[in-house]
Structures are given as structure tokens and as C-alpha cells.
Structure 1
Amino acid sequence: MPLGPKSSAINIHGTTVTDSSHNVPRTPTNITIHPVALFSILDHYLRRTDAQDRVIGTLLGTRHDNEVEVRSSFAVLHSETDEQVAVDMDYHRTMYELHHKVNPKEVIVGWYSTGSNLNTYSALIQNFYSQETSPHQAIHVSVNTGTEEGQEAGVKAYISSPVGVNPKPENCVFVPVPVELRFHDAERSGLDLLANTASLPAATTAQPVADLEIIERALVSVSDMLDRVLTYVRAVLAGEKKGDPAIGRYLMDTLGASTEDLEKGGFNTSLQDTLMISYLANLVRAQAEVSSRLALTAAS
């Protein structure tokens, strides 16, 4: 993609507009990214050459109305100079065909890049991916790795809008779109392992957590949350803290205590069930600790 004179590709902060027409695809207003896609982007960045300031790749996922879900990604070869930017389109299409055979439900939804620089090259690459995702809009996910001075690590998402009476591919506005990280329950243990590894000394390597330890940690977490709720409720009843109506309604919904339930004693029944669950949780935790100690004793 050769470049001409410098263009007006800019980065602004604004809101997106959803097209209500049934014939025109709706503009994405929310983007979710799964950890697999994010880790693939970071791995691509770590494997870059010294001459590369940033890396780019293709995002794959699904669309639901005005929401885009990014499930996976793959790297795309490209090079940038002061005069031009080149993207290996044949490699991109070959990789997509291979990926589509394995995951036929996932389609191209846009592209990613590392760093926080949105320039003319970004506009040209955005124009290429817009053709790949037509008639839908292509999204752009910018992953800031935090290695640049003064830049914090984070993820941002954009869609593009052409500017000018006769728009050119290199002239567009990047409009930010809300983005969030979403993971399945089955992925939680892996993410917890990575988080724990990051907080450990460099000489220490975390090991995969056993099922009993996962249950124990979950029970401890639930117990801590119950202690926080009890502390808050007791402080409100004692007049030490002003009660928040929103928190009160949330607790009533969680415990299943409506006004009718309070009159019929439903709250007491629900409270007894909660106490029974807490008792069983402590019993399971104690059993897990005993089993672990017996296993260590037998091993020694």
C-alpha cells in the first residue's frame, strides 16, 4: 500500500451512532475480547523483530446485533517504512481459510495492532480490513503493552468513519468503542495461575492448582464475602455507617427476601439455607485439608 502525501487520519473521542435501518448493518457499540485472542496478540509482540515498532494481525469472532465478540486472532506479516506500508494479503487469506476450516462459525471482524499510534498507515490497513468484513464495519483493537514511556498498558477498540466530500482510504476518523475482557468459567483457573505467577519472585514457578485447592480457594472467597456483608450489616444496624439503599435491595434480592417473604417467614428459611451452605463449605474445606495432610504424610 504505497502512501501519498500525509493525510488527516486522526484519533478522537466521541460516541458511536447505531443505524436503525434494517438494510444496513448496525454499528458496533460494544466489543468483548477473550483471553485467547489477547494472549495471542501479546505473544506476537514478544516475537517481533528489533526493526518492528508494532505488529498487526487479524481478529476473528462473531457478531450479535451491535456487539462484536473477538474469540481468536492470528499474526499477519507486514512492514512499514517512511514511504509505504506493505501487508501480506495472500498470507492473511491463507491463514483465514485454514482457521475457517477448524472454526467455521468465526469470521473476520477486524484487525489489531500494538502501541497507541494511529496514523495514515493505520487508516490504510483499516480500509483493507473494511473490504474483508464488508458489509459490516471492521473494528480495530489497539493493545498498549506498557513498554512505551508514559504509556500505561491497556486495550482500546475503534471503528472508522470516512471524512471529506470525496473520502480517500487514508482519510478517516477513528472513533473509540467500549471494550471489555470476557472469559468463561473454565478459563478462570488458568487466568488465576497466570496472575499468581506474575506476583511471585522470578526464581519461583507456579504449578497448576489441584481441584481440591480450587474448591478451597472458592470457599475461602465466599467466606470472605460473607464476612464483609455481615460487617457492613452490623455497622448499619449499630448506626456506625449510613445504609445504602442500593446495597440493601441487592442483598434482599440475593437472599430472596421480598416483602411477602418477610411476612411468611421466607427470610428465616432462606437464612437457614445460607447457614447450612456455609456449614457444608467449612466441612468440605476441613476435609480437603485433612486429605492433603494425609497425602503429604504418606509421601514422606
Structure 2
Amino acid sequence: MSLGPPTSAITLQPAAHGSAPQAVSRAPTKVTIHPVALFSILDHYLRRNDTQERVIGTLLGTRNETEIEVRSSFAVLHSETDEQVAVDMEYHRAVYDLHHKVNPKEVIVGWYSTGSNLNTYSALIQNFYMQETVPHQAIHVALNTGAVSGEEAGVKAFVSSPVGVNPRPENCVFVPIPVELRFQDTERSGLDLLTKTAAEPTSTTAQPITDLQVLEDALTQVMAMLDRVLAYVSAVLAGERQGDPAVGRYLMDTLGASTEDLEKGGFQASLQDTLMLTYLANLVQSQAEVSARLALAP
């Protein structure tokens, strides 16, 4: 895909050059992204050439009428200069065909790029992906790695909308849509391991976490949250801070203490369960410490 000099337009048009616009479904209202897709994008960015300011790739996932779920992604070869941008479309289609054989339920939902620069080239790349997702809208996910000074790391999602009486691919606008990170319960331990490793600059190699350590960490987090709740409730009861009705209702729902439950002693039963959980957490922590000391003993 070769382009002329960039213009002030920064968006797309779903129809190709010289053809009538194609009908597309309504734009999605929400995008959810799995960690696997984000890790793949970051890995692509780390392996880029020194001359590349950004990398692009294809997003794969599932969709319904209002939501798109991005489950995976793969890199697409491209080069970009001030005069033109070239995208290896044949490589994109070949990799997608291979992926589709393994995961037939995942389809092309859009594309990604790193950085926050949306320009004419972005619009024309978006136009190509619109043709790949017809009759659905293609999304664009912009991942800011935070490597550039003054720019905060984050993820944004966009859909495109044509602009002008005679729409062209480079005469459109990117419209932001809500995006959130979603992960399965089975992925939590892996994410916790990566977070823990990133928070410890002296650690260079991530070590697998045993089931006992996972349980201990989970119970420790529960204990910390219970301590925060107890401190908040104590401060409100002592008049040290003003209570938030929303927080109070949330605590009532969490503890299962409705007005009827309070009259029947349901709150006391919930409190006993909480204390039992705290006791078990302390017991597991003590057992883990004893086991670790025995393992280190000569």
C-alpha cells in the first residue's frame, strides 16, 4: 500500500478507491482485550527495527451486536516513511489462514498500532481492514507503551466514521470507544507473577508459583482488604470521617446483610465466616513459613 504525501486528514473510509461505499453494521459500543493480545503487541514492539517508530498488526477475536472481544493478535510487516507506507497484505492473509485453521471461531476484528499518532497512513490502513471485516466495523487499538517521554502508557480503541460529501479513505475521523482489560481466573496467577517480577528490580528471572503460594497470596490479599474495610468502618463509627452511602450499600450486599438478615442474626453469621477466613489465612501462612524453614534446614 503506497501513499502520497500526508494530509491533515486522520481517518478512514470503508470503501476502496474507485468503488462505492460498502454497507456496514453499526459501530460496537465496547471493546474488551485479553492479556495475551496485549503481550503479543508488546513483544512485537520490543522486537521492532530501530528505525521503526511504531508497529502494526491484526487483531483477532469474536463479536456480537454491541461488543468486540479481542483474544489474540499477530504482527504484520510494514514500512513507513514521510512519503509512503507499505503493508505486506499477502503475509497478513497467509498468517490469518493458518490461525483460522487452529481457531476457527476467531475472526479479524481490526488492527493495532503502538503510539498515539493517528494520521493519513492510519486512515488508509484502517480502510484496508474495513474491507477485511465487512459488513462489520473494524476497530483500531492504539497501545501507548510509555516509552516516549511525556506520554502515559495506556490502551485506546477507535472506530472510524467517514467525513465529507464524497468520502475517501483518507477523509474520515477516528471515534474513541470504551475499552477494558479482561482476563480469565486461570490467567490471574500468571499476571500476578509478571506484576510481582516487574515490581522487584533485583529479580531477573520469574520463578513459577506453587499452588500453596498462590493460596497464601490470595488469602493475604483478602486479609489486607478486610483490614482496610475494618479501618474504614471504625473511622466512620468514631466520626473521624464521613461515611459514603454507596460504600455502605456495597458492604451490605457483600456481607449479605439485608435488614431482614440483621434481625435474624444473619450479619453475625457473616461476621463469623469472615473471622474463620481470617483464621484460616493465618494458619496457612504459618504452615507455609514452617515448610519453607524445614526445606532450608540442613
> Could you tell me the TM-score, scaled by structure 2's length?
0.91
1:40-51 alignment runs, 5 A limit? 40-51=40-51
Greater shift in the superposed pair: 102-111 or 81-90: 81-90
The Cα of 1:204 is off from its aligned counterpart by 4.2
1:46-85 alignment runs, 5 A limit? 46-85=46-85
Q: Which letter does structure 2 place at the counterpart of 1:245?
A: P
Measured in 2, the distance between the counterparts of 1:187 and 1:55 equals 26
**Cα 1:3/1:99, change in 2 over 3 Å:** same
Q: Which letter does structure 2 place at the counterpart of 1:237?
A: L
Measured in 2, the distance between the counterparts of 1:230 and 1:114 equals 43
The match for 1:18 is none
The answer on whether the counterparts of 2:5 and 2:82 sit within 8 Å (CA) in structure 1 is no
The Cα of 1:214 is off from its aligned counterpart by 1.4
Deviations 1:54-100 (A, max 9, x none): 11100001113211111100011112233322111111111001001
The answer on whether the counterparts of 1:158 and 1:174 sit within 8 Å (CA) in structure 2 is yes
1:155-174 alignment runs, 5 A limit? 155-174=155-174
**Cα 1:8/1:201, change in 2 over 3 Å:** closer
Deviations 1:165-215 (A, max 9, x none): 110111110111111111112112211222222222356434222221111
The Cα of 1:160 is off from its aligned counterpart by 0.5
Measured in 2, the distance between the counterparts of 1:26 and 1:165 equals 20
The Cα of 1:148 is off from its aligned counterpart by 2.0
**What percentage of residue pairs aligned between the two structures are identical?**
78
The match for 1:252 is 252
State whether structure 2 residue 185 is matched by structure 1 residue 189: no
SS at match of 1:246: helix
Q: Which letter does structure 1 place at the counterpart of 2:208?
A: P
The Cα of 1:5 is off from its aligned counterpart by 5.4
**Cα 1:159/1:76, change in 2 over 3 Å:** same
Greater shift in the superposed pair: 236-245 or 28-37: 236-245
The match for 1:16 is none
SS at match of 2:110: strand
Measured in 2, the distance between the counterparts of 1:35 and 1:265 equals 43
The answer on whether the counterparts of 2:100 and 2:106 sit within 8 Å (CA) in structure 1 is yes
The Cα of 1:8 is off from its aligned counterpart by 4.1
Greater shift in the superposed pair: 244-253 or 286-295: 286-295
Measured in 2, the distance between the counterparts of 1:265 and 1:53 equals 63
Measured in 2, the distance between the counterparts of 1:54 and 1:267 equals 55
The Cα of 1:149 is off from its aligned counterpart by 2.9
How many pairs are equivalent?
A: 287
> Could you tell me the TM-score, scaled by structure 1's length?
0.90
Deviations 1:259-284 (A, max 9, x none): 11111222222222222222222222
The match for 1:140 is 140
The answer for unaligned runs of 5 or more in structure 2 is 12-22
Deviations 1:126-148 (A, max 9, x none): 00000000111000011112222
Greater shift in the superposed pair: 186-195 or 32-41: 186-195
1:95-134 alignment runs, 5 A limit? 95-134=95-134
**Cα 1:272/1:147, change in 2 over 3 Å:** closer
The Cα of 1:38 is off from its aligned counterpart by 0.6
The answer on whether the counterparts of 1:8 and 1:172 sit within 8 Å (CA) in structure 2 is no
The answer on whether the counterparts of 1:142 and 1:157 sit within 8 Å (CA) in structure 2 is yes
The answer on whether the counterparts of 1:9 and 1:118 sit within 8 Å (CA) in structure 2 is no
Measured in 2, the distance between the counterparts of 1:263 and 1:170 equals 66
The answer for unaligned runs of 5 or more in structure 1 is 12-22
Higher relative contact order (CA 8 A, sep 6+): 2
The match for 1:20 is none
